[in-house]
Amino acid sequence: MAIYKANTSNILIAAEEIKCGGLVAFPTETVYGLGADGLNPIAVAKIFEAKNRPAFNPLILHISSLSQLHQVAEINNDRAKLLINKFWPGPLTLVLKKKDIVPDIVTAGSETVAVRMPNNKTALELIYNAGTPIAAPSANEFGKLSPTTAFHVQEQLKTKVKIILDDGKCDVGVESTIIQVTDKQIVLLRYGGLPVEEIESLINEKVLKRKETDLINSPGLLKSHYAPTIPIKFIDEINLKNHTNQKVGAILWNLNNYDFNFTKIKYLSSSGNIREAAANLFVYLHELENENLDLIVCEKINETGLGKAIMDRLQKAVNKYS
């Protein structure tokens, strides 16, 4: 791993790394982010691996132009447009309806996507040259403080990221403010670098706190949020013989060791690659949901590295039906 001074040639090297599916830590005006190609699910899986997160959290897509915004999200809301005109680039993240192109691993399966345009020249050039929205959480290890210098990133992520673009200390130093704008209301999801009062005075409307609304938009919070609409069980916690007359779909690691006539089988990774498994999981849950099945069964997987986050998601889904 190396710290690269944020000049034009190094930004191009970093952009190339993003294009190739690698990770780059980069400055924004709020905190340093750990970025990957936001449209490449395997690249995004590497972020969770590097951060050592025990669960999948939805990530913010960082964009450098409004055309990229339209690529990833719907904005058919005048208040959202107003906020964008006034506060972008800047420390404001908007949660909007996602377009199909955004992989489920970015949104943790949610129909919404968080987007922001950072107010930092290095970040904007990196995104522009990578030619793709960059998915990035703060570049800290799980449970540690968000980094505001390249050195903080290096201390925490050590060997996990090849390139850290160094553009000095972050101007704002706290994360972006996150709001969700629906047709009916504007809801604050996280306090951050842009004061809520500034938002309220622009749109002439009160920003609601999450508890003042019925919106449930923090996917990680609910024990069973990640559940598909069809019952899902761990394969070793049921007796398959009791389901012979049903249409059963299976999510297996890479082999079928079961004496059962599954209607549909999805292998998480035929090559036994955990990143591929993480990227596939989100897609498979959605696909199986649309297969007209009575039941989905899934194998437990080894809880090391990314396996923890995968199991967390499966466990939350199973909890809903137990």
Site size for ligand TXA (CB under 6 A):
25
Q: Yes or no: say if 25 and 35 are a contact pair by the CB < 8 Å rule.
A: yes
Residue 122 as a binder of Mg ion (CB under 5 A): the answer is no
Residue 185 token pair: 């209301």
Residue 68 as a binder of ligand TXA (CB under 6 A): the answer is no
Q: Which is nearer to ligand TXA, 59 or 252 (CB)?
A: 59
Residue 10 as a binder of ligand TXA (CB under 6 A): the answer is no
Cβ neighbours for 261, distance < 8 A, ≥ 6 positions apart:
244
Q: Which is nearer to ligand TXA, 209 or 270 (CB)?
A: 209
Instruction: Name which of 129, 131, 122, 142 is nearest 3 in CA terms.
Output: 122
Which of Mg ion, ligand TXA, none is residue 35 near (CB under 5 to 8 Å by kind)?
Answer: none
**Angle at 24 (CA atoms; ends 132, 128), nearest 5 degrees:** 30
- Taking residues 118 to 137 in sequence order and writing x for each that binds ligand TXA by CB under 6 A, - otherwise, the string is x-----------------xx
Residue 31 as a binder of ligand TXA (CB under 6 A): the answer is yes
Residue 113 as a binder of ligand TXA (CB under 6 A): the answer is yes
Residue 138 as a binder of Mg ion (CB under 5 A): the answer is yes
Minimum CB distance to ligand TXA, residue 297 (Å) = 28
Minimum CB distance to Mg ion, residue 146 (Å) = 5
Q: Please choose, out of 55-63, 138-146, 179-187, 291-299, the segment that lies near Mg ion by the rule CB under 5 A.
A: 138-146
Q: Which is nearer to ligand TXA, 188 or 235 (CB)?
A: 188
Residue 175 token pair: 């994360």
- Taking residues 167 to 206 in sequence order and writing x for each that binds ligand TXA by CB under 6 A, - otherwise, the string is --------xx-x----------x-----------------
Count the Cβ atoms, other than its own, within 10 Å of residue 65: 13
**Strands, E assignment, the chain:** 2-5, 24-26, 33-37, 60-62, 73-74, 92-98, 112-116, 134-136, 163-166, 177-181, 186-190, 208-209, 232-234, 248-252, 264-267, 295-298
Which of ligand TXA, Mg ion, none is residue 217 near (CB under 5 to 8 Å by kind)?
Answer: ligand TXA
**How far, in Å, CA of 172 to CA of 114, rounded?**
19
Count the Cβ atoms, other than its own, within 10 Å of residue 181: 23
How is residue 134 annotated by DSSP? Answer: E
Q: Which residues bind ligand TXA (CB under 6 A)?
A: 28, 30-31, 33, 57-60, 93, 95, 107, 110, 112-114, 118, 136-138, 175-176, 178, 189, 217-218
| Binding residues vs Mg ion (CB under 5 A) | 138
